[in-house]
Amino acid sequence: MDILVVGGTRFFGRCTVEQLLAAGHKVTIFSRGNVRPPFWHDIEHIAGDREEVEGLRQQLAGRQFDAVLDNQCYDQQEARSIIGALQGRIGRYVVASTVSVYGEGGHATGRHTVRQPLTDQERFAVDYRALEPVRETDLDNRDQPWELRSNLSEYGEGKRQVERVMLESEDWPWIVVRVPSTLGPDDPSGRFAWWLSRILDGEPILLPDGGTHAIQLGYSRDLATFLVRLLEDGPTGNIYNYAQHETPQLANWLQVIADAADKSLHTVSVPSSILQQATELPWEDWFYASFSYCPLLMSVAKAEADIGLTFRTSLRDWVQTTVDSYLQNPETLSAADHSEQRPAEIDFAKQWTTARDHLVRTLTD
């Protein structure tokens, strides 16, 4: 197959290109060309900026592809531009979306519970509480507005727009993949490094509500395998949730990381409401909140039934691979530095532990 990848030089896009080449496919990458992986001489490169609509159209004029993978489509303009550039000349278009379209997962205005229900302003997608794990059909982005709502994240809003463009496009062979926080070697986001660096320094880690809530993650190399399957033979006109098969508690996932690094895990449980009020840690930042503040679980039953997900790597194995990658390349940990808030976190953990122990003694007496 002749496959175009928009991006394809970093993280799971890079993993996907590696797997496509290994399977014998011809790969063309459309990118600025700033990053050139080892496979660079095995692909065709089209230099360009996908934000330049006319340039995109001109550079892809007359080209035909069996399939297109687009990991860098973030709003309706970018979605419409790729359609305008390639309509009628491709067999299949796979675009990466996000769990955040449902309205949680780090891109909502907060984590909602039975005791803390959604407000009318926050009810912009689905009220997940009675639905988890959410299915693809629990959200229809044709109902979402084109206007970007200022009280919501620009990222989540943009992806909802991308999905709406797909849903309303005729004669365009789209497939949408909604993914959770995806981790693995060479992750440029620093999300895994946030936790691993704290485990390695041996100091206490603050866990909202003890980290007893479940989290759902993706693994970059397995996500790449799923994308390859969709590019090769995926049924068009479908939306798929994708994630690894385990949904561990946050505290248990951190223990798996500590085991992989051969380190002890030192955590301090604090009610999330107190952490949000009394600390300046980035509880709502996208790289952190998706683990500890407002995670949401998706059903992957449709992907399992239609595509088959027997290739997914076990939690312990992919975490070990990721930890080993960081430890073998320690500069990647320093490049994803999250140490600025670390002293305040350690100090608060010690103060909280002292106050808690004092209160326990007082109540016991």
Which of 234-248, 267-281, 284-298 has the lowest average pLDDT?
284-298
Over range 65-88, report the average pLDDT.
96
pLDDT of 6 reads 95
Q: Which three-class secondary structure state does DSSP give residue 182?
A: strand
> Alpha helices of the chain — where are they, by DSSP H?
11-22, 53-60, 76-86, 154-167, 191-201, 220-233, 250-261, 272-278, 286-292, 301-306, 315-328, 331-335, 342-364
- Asked if residue 46 has pLDDT above 80, the reply is yes
pLDDT of 328 reads 95
Q: Encoding tokens for residue 79?
A: 């979605």
pLDDT of 153 reads 74
Average pLDDT, the chain: 88
pLDDT of 138 reads 86
Q: For 77-87, how does the pLDDT look when each residue is reduced to its tens digit (9 = 90+)?
A: 999 999 999 99
pLDDT of 102 reads 83
Query: Of 68, 86, 44, which Cα lies nearest the Cα of 227?
Result: 68
Q: For 300-347, how does the pLDDT look when each residue is reduced to its tens digit (9 = 90+)?
A: 999 999 999 999 999 999 999 999 999 999 888 887 767 788 898 999
Which of 24-28, 99-103, 268-272, 348-352 has the lowest average pLDDT?
99-103
Over range 121-140, report the average pLDDT.
71
- Judge contact between 236 and 173, C-beta under 8 A: yes
Rounded Cα distance between 320 and 325, Å, is: 8
pLDDT of 104 reads 52
Percent of the chain with pLDDT over 70: 88
* Architecture label for domain 92-189+214-248+293-336: 3-Layer(aba) Sandwich (3.40)
pLDDT band at residue 195, thresholds of 50, 70 and 90?
very high
- Asked if residue 117 has pLDDT above 60, the reply is no
Rounded Cα distance between 234 and 257, Å, is: 34
On whether the pTM is more than 0.85, the answer is: yes
